[in-house]
């Protein structure tokens, strides 16, 4: 069951009847949803096709902290199959992608503090009150210290900048919604280690041996992998400032990429040469963090057998996976697709060893 919320985040309609629902959450990317609903005059009126300048929301009735923003509405008519509405969009954390950095600023500090500064300047306490989202707060739930970054921003999309930081340091983000107040708590967090090798918490194992791994697909893709970044900063031609982010790879195993950081500036030597180099260095590391070997395991797991989602394991956790060939790994849960239709309820997690 779902709630349709109006632009004031108040319940407008309870959606109990739908042909299918897909709810996808991701660890360090924004999630999305899709509802396929029988079309009636009442629900078409409530969804309001003509309301393009206000946002409406879909909230899960079984967990009201989970909420999505409606971004697309499609009506399909069919004499044989019937008429249906397809309502889709991204999770509510996607609000951070509605802002850009309006004025240049440079910040050196932890990832958590950098993300907090981006949100404060653009959403929580911006200079222009029109940019403020009321009830939007920031929460840092990281349990381990993250390293300092030096970043300069000017014109970047805030959501993309935060997502790049999260991917570089392998931390997750999500938004917790409060249905009663309409408040949005943006949280950065890490998962829990639930693998066989640890002794802190009960391990979570998906395997044919436990009859909870219905199907699986293992993919290893090295095509996007880069291990050396040449970052070019301010200046012209041969005088451009350069920073090389390189590992130990040599010969054919060296995979180079170019990073254009010309917008990162010393502002007439306001930044020291070392601080500026650190800023370019972090630009290179972020670029390489987005160009890694893709090692993913997609699995269809038994939703009510052995281990239950959001009870025994959560998005972002490390778990153990063993397929029928004895291939075993301890990946992170980076995506969870929950789907429900006439065939029943299913959970498809995607695991990554990054």
CATH superfamily of 99-189: Baseplate protein-like domains (3.55.50.10)
Could you tell me the residue ranges of all domains in the chain? 2-91, 99-189, 205-222+293-352, 228-289
Strands of 67-76's sheet in order across: 11-15, 2-5, 57-60, 67-76, 84-91, 32-38, 20-26, 332-341, 344-352, 294-301, 213-221
pLDDT computed for residue 304 by the predictor: 67
Local structure of residue 27 (DSSP, 8 states): S
Cα–Cα distance measured from residue 326 to residue 32, given in angstroms and rounded to the nearest whole number: 33
Select 2-91's CATH number: 3.30.70, 2.40.30, 1.10.3470, 2.60.40: 2.40.30
> What is the structure's pLDDT at 181?
95
Cα–Cα distance measured from residue 4 to residue 43, given in angstroms and rounded to the nearest whole number: 10
Series of mean pLDDT values for 10-residue runs along the chain (354 residues): 94 94 96 95 84 86 96 89 93 97 88 95 95 96 82 91 91 96 97 92 89 83 90 85 81 92 81 85 85 80 80 94 81 93 88 74
* Cβ neighbours around 88 below 10 Å, total: 17
Angstrom distance (rounded) from CA 354 to CA 351? 9
Residue whose pair of structure tokens reads 């889709």 in the numeric block: 88
> What CA–CA distance (Å, rounded) separates 217 from 214?
11
Judge contact between 152 and 198, C-beta under 8 A: no
Residue 117, pLDDT score: 95
pLDDT at position 318 is 94
pLDDT digits (tens, 9 = 90+) for 97-145: 999 999 888 888 899 999 999 999 999 999 999 999 999 999 999 987 7
- Beta carbons of 297 and 218 less than 8 angstroms apart: yes
Those residues with Cβ within 8 angstroms of residue 342's Cβ, 6 or more apart along the chain or in another chain = 19, 20
């Amino acid at each position: 069951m779902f709630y349709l919320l109006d632009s004031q985040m108040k319940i407008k309609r309870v959606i109990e009847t739908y042909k299918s629902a897909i709810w996808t959450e991701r660890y360090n990317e924004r999630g999305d949803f899709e509802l396929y609903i029988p079309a009636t005059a009442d629900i078409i009126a409530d969804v309001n096709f003509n309301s393009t300048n206000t946002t409406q929301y879909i909230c899960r009735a079984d967990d009201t902290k989970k909420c999505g923003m409606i971004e697309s509405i499609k009506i399909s008519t069919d004499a044989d199959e019937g008429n249906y509405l397809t309502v889709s969009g991204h999770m509510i954390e996607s609000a951070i992608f509605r802002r850009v950095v309006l004025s240049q600023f440079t910040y050196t500090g932890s990832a958590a503090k950098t993300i907090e500064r981006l949100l404060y300047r653009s959403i929580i306490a911006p200079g222009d009150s029109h940019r403020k989202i009321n009830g939007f707060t920031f929460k840092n739930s990281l349990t381990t210290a993250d390293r300092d970054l030096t970043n300069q921003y000017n014109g970047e999309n805030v959501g993309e900048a935060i997502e790049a930081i999260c991917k570089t340091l392998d931390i997750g983000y999500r938004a917790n919604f409060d249905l009663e107040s309409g408040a949005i708590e943006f949280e950065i967090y890490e998962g829990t280690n639930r693998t066989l090798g640890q002794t802190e918490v009960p391990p979570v194992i998906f395997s044919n041996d436990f009859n909870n791994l219905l199907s699986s697909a293992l993919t290893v893709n090295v095509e996007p992998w880069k291990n050396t970044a040449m970052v070019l900063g301010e200046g012209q031609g041969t005088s451009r400032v350069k920073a090389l982010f390189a590992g130990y790879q040599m010969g054919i195993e060296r995979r180079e990429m170019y990073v254009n950081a010309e917008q990162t500036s010393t502002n007439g030597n306001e930044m020291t040469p070392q601080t500026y180099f650190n800023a370019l260095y972090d630009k290179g590391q972020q670029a390489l963090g987005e160009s890694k070997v893709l090692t993913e395991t997609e699995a269809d797991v038994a939703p009510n057998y052995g281990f239950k989602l959001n009870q025994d394991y959560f998005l972002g956790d490390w778990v153990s996976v063993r397929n029928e060939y004895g291939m075993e790994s301890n990946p992170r849960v980076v995506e969870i697709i929950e789907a429900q239709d006439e065939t029943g309820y299913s959970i498809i997690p995607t695991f990554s060893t990054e």
